[in-house]
């Protein structure tokens, strides 16, 4: 049978509360008594429950993380960054997705009520921001990952990247290789990153003397099919284009597929640029030029920010921004 705190108390002839105080270093204790308890602990080989000790100290040493789904192509990079930091500091991770909708959120809410974790990392699932903001207002420490600061009103600590500048870099690259008639396939309009990426790209083209008309900015949803469908719509509408800028890599893969299915070549006829730089981007045919989001670094920064808060550092009230960079691959080349 495993040794329990009751066994230690009985052998040392003290209460379980006294043993707990020795273990946690709390309260004023006679040094002779404390030494006797420690000797019994060593004699019996008692190993206290890490969970029990942490709870007694007011900590679980567990961080919660709420995400929409693990199927998002870039989710693994963010998770790995957060896990690397948490594990190095002997913290565990309790992961929640919203795959089952309301049922998932009820299960998450039960864990919040049970105080199963010390703080929360969030990649905001659709439709949950009000609930997340309520948890924040009630004192749950949290850090948002990605660019939701516009939606949260700047009240929640946020780790983001340079969406506007990254998109402008994509535009400057395409302009530099002579592509003056681009399509833009956006993400969902409700996302802050969609507006930022659109503004950055369109502004760069306008500044170079090549304004982009509204019919060239096509609403997407970050999915492969939106890349396929929007390219096909542009072809059917007779819109001439020599480049496509997609707001994520997955829709860029779809755009390349539709371009090639139409009998055109990438990059000779149409250059294609994505955004994210997920691992598959380097292995696409052709390999995808894309804006590299520092996904793993964002996960690391979010975890470090939360752990620093546990040690008394206030959570920042301004977004922490990690710059994006542009990666050139084979899906872009100078026009002939």
Most confident range (mean pLDDT) of 111-125, 133-147, 151-165, 302-316 is 302-316
Q: Do 221 and 174 share a domain, yes or no? A: yes
4: DSSP letter: -
What is the distance between the alpha carbons of residues 83 and 98, in angstroms, rounded to a whole number?
Answer: 20
pLDDT at 149: 42
Q: Residue 33 maps to which CATH number?
A: 1.10.260.40
- Number of domains composing the chain: 3
pLDDT at 53: 56
Q: Do 169 and 227 share a domain, yes or no? A: yes
Query: Is 68 part of a structural domain of the chain?
Result: yes
Q: Do 313 and 245 share a domain, yes or no? A: no
R_g (Cα) of the chain, nearest Å: 26
Query: Which has more confidence, 245 or 41?
Result: 245
Q: Do 111 and 224 share a domain, yes or no? A: no
Task: Label residue 286 by pLDDT band (50, 70, 90).
Answer: very high
Query: Which has more confidence, 328 or 124?
Result: 328
Q: Do 184 and 278 share a domain, yes or no? A: yes
Q: Do 125 and 207 share a domain, yes or no? A: no
Residue ranges of E strands in 31-138: 62-66, 92-96, 119-122
| Cβ atoms within 10 Å of 182's Cβ, excluding its own | 25
- Boundary-marking domain end, from 15, 42, 57: 57
**Mean predicted confidence (pLDDT) in 6-31:** 85
pTM: 0.79
Rounded to whole angstroms, what are the CA distances from 53 to 47, 56, 60, 256, 270? Answer: 10, 5, 9, 55, 61
Task: Label residue 216 by pLDDT band (50, 70, 90).
Answer: very high
185: DSSP letter: E
pLDDT at 58: 62
Query: Is 334 part of a structural domain of the chain?
Result: no
Q: Do 67 and 53 share a domain, yes or no? A: no
Q: Do 78 and 185 share a domain, yes or no? A: no
Q: Residue 265 maps to which CATH number?
A: 3.40.50.2300
Task: Label residue 321 by pLDDT band (50, 70, 90).
Answer: very high
What is the distance between the alpha carbons of residues 45 and 36, in angstroms, rounded to a whole number?
Answer: 14
Q: Give the domain range for residue 31.
A: 5-57
Q: Do 189 and 285 share a domain, yes or no? A: yes
Q: Do 13 and 121 share a domain, yes or no? A: no
- Boundary-marking domain end, from 13, 41, 57: 57
Q: Do 183 and 280 share a domain, yes or no? A: yes
pLDDT at 51: 58
pLDDT digits (tens, 9 = 90+) for 121-158: 999 887 788 898 899 999 999 999 985 444 445 688 99
Query: Is 333 part of a structural domain of the chain?
Result: no
* pLDDT, the chain, mean: 90
Q: How many residues does the chain have?
A: 336
Q: Give the pairing of strands 142-145 and 119-122.
A: parallel
Query: Is 336 part of a structural domain of the chain?
Result: no
Q: Do 180 and 246 share a domain, yes or no? A: yes
Query: Is 328 part of a structural domain of the chain?
Result: no
| Cβ atoms within 10 Å of 216's Cβ, excluding its own | 20
pLDDT digits (tens, 9 = 90+) for 247-278: 999 999 999 999 999 999 999 999 999 999 99
**Mean predicted confidence (pLDDT) in 237-241:** 97
């Amino acid at each position: 049978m495993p040794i329990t705190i009751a066994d230690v108390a009985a052998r040392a002839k003290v209460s379980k509360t006294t043993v707990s105080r020795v273990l946690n270093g709390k309260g004023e204790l006679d040094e002779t008594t404390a030494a006797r308890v420690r000797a019994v602990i060593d004699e019996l080989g008692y190993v206290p429950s890490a969970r029990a000790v942490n709870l007694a100290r007011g900590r679980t040493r567990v961080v919660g993380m709420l995400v929409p789904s693990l199927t998002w192509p870039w989710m693994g990079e963010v998770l790995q960054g957060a896990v690397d930091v948490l594990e190095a500091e002997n913290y565990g991770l309790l992961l929640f997705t919203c795959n089952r909708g309301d049922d998932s959120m009820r299960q998450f809410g039960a864990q919040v009520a049970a105080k199963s974790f010390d703080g929360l990392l969030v990649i905001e699932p659709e439709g949950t921001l009000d609930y997340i903001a309520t948890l924040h207002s009630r004192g749950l420490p949290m850090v948002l990952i990605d660019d939701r600061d516009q939606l949260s009103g700047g009240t929640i600590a946020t780790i983001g990247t340079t969406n506007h500048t990254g998109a402008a870099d994509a535009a400057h690259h395409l302009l530099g290789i002579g592509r003056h008639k681009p399509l833009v396939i956006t993400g969902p309009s409700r996302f802050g990153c969609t507006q930022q990426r659109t503004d950055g790209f369109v502004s760069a083209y306008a500044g170079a003397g090549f304004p982009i008309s509204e019919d060239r900015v096509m609403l997407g949803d970050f999915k492969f099919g939106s890349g396929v469908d929007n390219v096909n719509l542009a072809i059917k509408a007779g819109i001439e284009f020599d480049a496509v800028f997609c707001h994520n890599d997955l829709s860029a893969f779809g755009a390349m597929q539709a371009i090639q299915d139409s009998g055109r070549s990438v990059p000779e006829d149409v250059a294609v640029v994505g955004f994210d730089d997920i691992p598959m981007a380097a292995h696409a045919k052709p390999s995808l030029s894309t804006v590299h989001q520092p996904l793993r670094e964002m996960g690391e920064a979010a975890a470090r920010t939360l752990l620093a808060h546990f040690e008394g550092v206030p959570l920042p009230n301004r977004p922490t921004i990690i710059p994006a960079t542009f990666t050139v691959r084979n899906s872009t080349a100078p026009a002939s």
